[in-house]
Amino acid sequence: MIALLIANSLALASLLIMLSSGLALIYGLRDVINFGHGALYMLGAYLGYSIALAGGFWLALLVSPLLLAGLGIAFEYWVLRPLRGRSHIEVALVTLGLGIILGQALIFVYGGEARGVDAPAALAGSVRLFGLSYPLYRIFLIAMGLGSCAALALWLRYSTSGLYVRAVSQDPSVARMMGVNADRLSLLVTSLSAAFAGVAGVLAGPYLSVDPGMDVSMIVNCLIIVVIGGTGSIAGAIVAALLFGFVQVAGSVFLPDLAALAPYVLLFVVLLIAPRGIGRGRAPA
């Protein structure tokens, strides 16, 4: 029972980690919270759905993130750079507007009903693990989530570009003075973050479903996680995503009537105890 609970919350947390660490990365470099991130995730999911119909799940898992990364580059060149002089709130509002446009365009193309995506044949069944039967696809999901989390941590910790990202996140002006090219980093980070949203979208297909409301529900979850984790803290976001997944899953098991409110209760409890969140985010400049 407990093992099942933990496994299910890890599966949910895997998606949330990929999305909210992407949000935290962009915030670290640009001080911008991308309110359109949910729509990127939705685009990834619908692209995944279409590509999976044409060429299979694995192709979708490869192509959809690549397309999203391209969109992330466009976002950096056409939105973040031209609006560099504007206040962060205004840029956040622009991303909100762009997210609405993207979400509505997807509904216009794909219609209003939910779509189901089948797990690929190799991951269709269940396996017995520690005496429990567990869907193989969720294990794959957890592996992908924890894997990308580990890759992100290794990149930030051991690569030169990761070092620069951490430097800019901690103190943009000093980092720039030391010769770090924040624009080039931002290009990298924005495309990475969009690609992660694409991976999460494709992975969400067989696990949740592909439906018109998925952008709003996911962005709200991610914003809660980013606030709980301490705005801009990637480690905080990862811990918060795990916590969020556990609370959500435990809520739906023990208090199914009130489960929808569980994340909000978590949010307000954390805010009451630690208004800045659990991680060490940077206060906005």
**Are the C-beta atoms of 64 and 198 separated by less than 8 Å?**
yes
**Interacting residue with another protein among 33, 68, 189, 202 (CB under 8 A):** 33
Stretch touching another protein by CB under 8 A, among 57-65, 103-111, 198-206, 233-241: 103-111
**How many Cβ atoms are within 10 Å of 217's Cβ, its own excluded?**
13
Q: How far is CA 129 from CA 10, 46, 67, 170, in A?
A: 15, 32, 36, 42
3-state secondary structure of 113: coil
Dihedral over Cα of 145, 151, 154, 155: its sign:
negative
176: contact with another protein by CB under 8 A: no
Region of 59-67, 87-95, 180-188, 199-207 interacting with another protein (CB under 8 A) = 87-95
CB closer to another protein out of 58 and 268: 268
**Near another protein by CB under 8 A, which window of 104-112, 114-122, 183-191, 192-200?**
104-112
**Dist CA 137 CA 143 (whole Å):** 10
**Near another protein in 106-165, by CB under 8 A:** 108
Cα 285 from Cα 275, distance rounded (Å)? 18
Q: What are phi and psi of 210, to 5 degrees?
A: -105, 105
Part in contact with another protein (CB under 8 A); list of ranges 89-97, 146-154, 178-186, 189-197:
89-97
Of residues 204 through 263, those in contact with another protein by CB under 8 A are: 216-217, 219-220, 223-224, 226-227, 231, 256-258, 260-261
Among 187, 240, 267, 278, binds another protein (CB under 8 A): 267
